[in-house]
Amino acid sequence: MMKGGLRALAGTCALVLAASAASAQRRPTISLRADAFMMWVHSDTGLARTSLRGPGFGGEGRIGVNGLLFGLGLLQGQLKPGGVTGGGTSHVDLVQGTVFVGGRLLPWLEMTAGPVVRAYVTDSTTERWVFWQARARVDAPIVVGQLASYLEVWRALASEVNLPTGAGRIQGGEAGVVFQPPQQRIWLRLSYRMDDALLGGPSGNETLEAITLSGGIVIP
């Protein structure tokens, strides 16, 4: 799965880079973003079901050069079993890192691709996911120059996970609204995302959901 997926990923990157290279020369820009989120993780292996939830923080930085995008992101959260409170409650630490490259094929269409590493860490075990994903994002204005909406979808082209059940299809999406005051470089965003992965067969799956409040700045 990894070998074929990497070929597909290389093709996707080549398409994005070729389209972006054809764009006019532009001044490089730097975009920085900070996130605060509430996350829910539901896992069903067919033999056992678990449900975790908890808050977390993250961030992303990206550089735009002549229509090309290069970026990286990091998030971290602490999850606890849903509905369980009180001292002594076990928890799971979630850590995820993302690296991507891409560009804008159209003024309203952005495409990126790159690896994602996600780990769920407890005192005794670490569940580790590594997948290469292709993303497409569509932007649509609500109030021109102030408020916009967006929809982003992604799918893993190759994946590895250290679970006995393995993993099949992995995909997800995100939707949100972005507010940017007129003639300002700062912006605010409220979004909802969901990732879904099959675990070894049609009866098992793992779902990650998050509601995120973000703030960012663009440096020309």
**pLDDT tens digits, 79-130:** 998 754 444 447 899 999 999 999 988 989 999 999 999 999 988 889 899 9
What's the mean per-residue pLDDT of the chain?
Answer: 85
Q: pLDDT by residue (tens digit) across 166-212? A: 677 889 999 999 999 988 899 999 999 999 988 766 568 889 999 99
pLDDT-derived band at 66 (thresholds 50, 70, 90) equals confident
Q: What is the pLDDT of residue 205?
A: 86
The strand pairing partners of 105, in sequence order, are none
Q: What is the pLDDT of residue 160?
A: 87
Scored b (16 or more CB within 10 A) or e, 201-218 reads: eeebbbebbbebebebeb
Residue 155 has a CB neighbour count (10 Å cut-off) of 15
CA gap 101, 127 in Å, rounded = 26
Asked if 108 contacts 139 with a C-beta cutoff of 8 angstroms, the reply is yes
Helical segments of the chain, H only: 2-21
Angle, vertex CA 37, rays to CA 31 and CA 38, nearest 5: 165
Asked if 82 contacts 53 with a C-beta cutoff of 8 angstroms, the reply is yes
Judge if pTM exceeds 0.85.
no
